[in-house]
Amino acid sequence: MKVEGRRMSSGRGPNAAVRRHSSLTRLDLVSWAAFAVFATSGVVTPVCLPEISRAMSTNLAEGGGMETARTFLVLVVVALAGFVAHRWGKKRFLTLGQYLIAAGLLAMSLAQSCVGVIASLMIVGVGGGLTEALVNPLVLDIHPGDSGKYLNLTNAFYPVGVMASALVVGELLATGCEWRSVFRAAAACALVAGVAFNVSRFPQAAPPEGASWKLAAGVLASGRFWLYGAVILLGAGVESTLTFWSRSHVETYMPDAPRAGAAAVALFAGTMAAGRMLAAKLSGRVSLRTIMIASALLGLAVGALLPLATGLASFYALLAASGLAAACFWPTILAHAAASLKTDATILFVMLACLGIIGFGSAPLLVGAIGDRASLGAGLFVVPCLFAGVIAALAVEWRVSRRAARTGA
């Protein structure tokens, strides 16, 4: 197939003709929409969580468990989708993913029990897994010569979706709209994105360079892969913690500020989007490792202060800084790993995404469990711990890279 008259290659094999596509394509726009819909499917639950909890009589740990259940299916499907798409192509599975998100959100709007909610979110998780697994490799197919820029740019639309959804959903809830209607509107958006993928023309990726399981085994044998995986896991934990619990934190400690909780989610997402766009701009001037280390140091400083904020203004300021700090890790580590580990990009991205999803899904549950035993504020101390872990992983990776450069490995 062709995109705007050009045959594209993934550029992973030794004989691949890597052709840099430096301009946006129609498929880029559809990919942005898919990430925004994926974000919406994840954010409607935390923004509506107080209403859902009252309707289903759930506690904090059960609320965090809803996200974990959805994310567990994302993890399983990401692992499977990468391998099947490696053999049969990305288009059919990206299209199916959007349709499944739509079906799960519609089922969520009809759920009458906690079990029904979890089952619906698991359907959403299947669709989200297909999206998460395949959009980033698709970006690399389209822009093999400038992946750092375009991965950050495309992934910026995840927090854009979070921000827009949080603002719109928060306003709808504040004006009396029932939470079930919110899920139905989100389902309609996913359906539109699925149709857009279905009618789009996809680039032709390079043919498979070997059996998927052999490629995966080679990736797993690399120590640097596990360092990259640690960065994406810990960074994703920060992202999900502050996305999932910001509204509940504001409503717990600052209950006299209407709409402030949803605005907190939107603020965090907005600064994450800005951070990814800034990383895209800087990627041609500053090394990707430098961008990540500077972000992690900022995150450690502001994350340690975040649970101590007593006023809405100070909480907002620290949350905004946390969003800038957390923004770059997922897309930037993908680009850094693709440049460092010469292997099939789809398999590599899928395996890194699996580790990121583990962090994304487990952190809200951990914070909720701490909140039940101590306080939600105490649970937010998980955030600086995660940033500290990122710094440690990047420091080790830097030393390993220097040693490899000296020895010519």
61-92 residue pLDDT tens? 565 566 566 667 777 777 787 677 766 778 88
Residue 367 lies in a domain: yes
Residue 3 lies in a domain: no
The mean-pLDDT minimum among 123-127, 192-196, 245-249, 402-406 falls in 402-406
Structure tokens at 70: 């959805």
Which residues sit opposite 6 in a β-bridge? 3
pLDDT at 115: 77
Residue 290 lies in a domain: yes
Structure tokens at 198: 């279905």
pLDDT at 140: 82
pTM of the model: 0.75
Residues whose CB is less than 8 angstroms from the CB of residue 50 and which lie 6 or more positions away in sequence, other chains included:
247, 248, 251
Q: Residue 395 CA to chain centroid, in angstroms?
A: 23
pLDDT at 13: 40
Between helix 345-373 and helix 60-88 the angle, nearest 10°, is: 170
Report CA-CA distances (Å) from 185 to 41, 172, 274, 338, 343.
11, 11, 26, 37, 41
pLDDT band for 4, please (50, 70, 90 cuts): very low
Which residues sit opposite 3 in a β-bridge? 6
pLDDT at 6: 36
CATH assignment of the domain containing 237: 1.20.1250.20
pLDDT at 1: 33
Residue 186 lies in a domain: yes
Residue 170 lies in a domain: yes
Look at residues 190, 158, 71 and name the one whose alpha carbon lies nearest to residue 121: 71
Q: In total, how many domains does the chain have?
A: 1
Residue 56 lies in a domain: yes
pLDDT band for 189, please (50, 70, 90 cuts): very high
Residue 335 lies in a domain: yes
pLDDT at residue 7 tops 80: no
Residue 1 lies in a domain: no
- What domain range includes position 302? 26-202+212-403
> Which one of 310-314, 325-329, 375-379 scores highest in mean pLDDT?
325-329
Average pLDDT over residues 241-260: 79
- Using the Cα atoms of residue 355, residue 242, residue 95 and residue 29 in order, give the sign of their dihedral: negative
pLDDT at 406: 72
The two most distant CA atoms of the chain are separated, in Å, by 65
Q: What is the mean pLDDT of the chain?
A: 81
pLDDT at 190: 94
CA distance 34 to 39: 9
Q: Using alpha carbons only, how large is the chain's radius of gyration in Å?
A: 20
pLDDT at 65: 60
